[in-house]
Structure 1
Amino acid sequence: MVRIGVIGVGHIGAHHARIYSQIPDVELVGVVDIDQKRKEKVAREYNTTPYASYGEIFNKVDAVSVVVPTDLHYPVAKDFLERGVHCLVEKPITPTLEEAGDLLSIA
Structure 2
Amino acid sequence: MIASPKGGVVSESTRYAVLGLLARRPTHGYALVEQIRRWPLDPVLVPTGSSIYKALRRLSHEQLIEPLDSGPGRGAGSAWQDDVRCDGRGRAALRGMAPTAADDL
Q: TM-score, normalised by structure 1?
A: 0.32
More strand by share: 1
Higher relative contact order (CA 8 A, sep 6+): 2
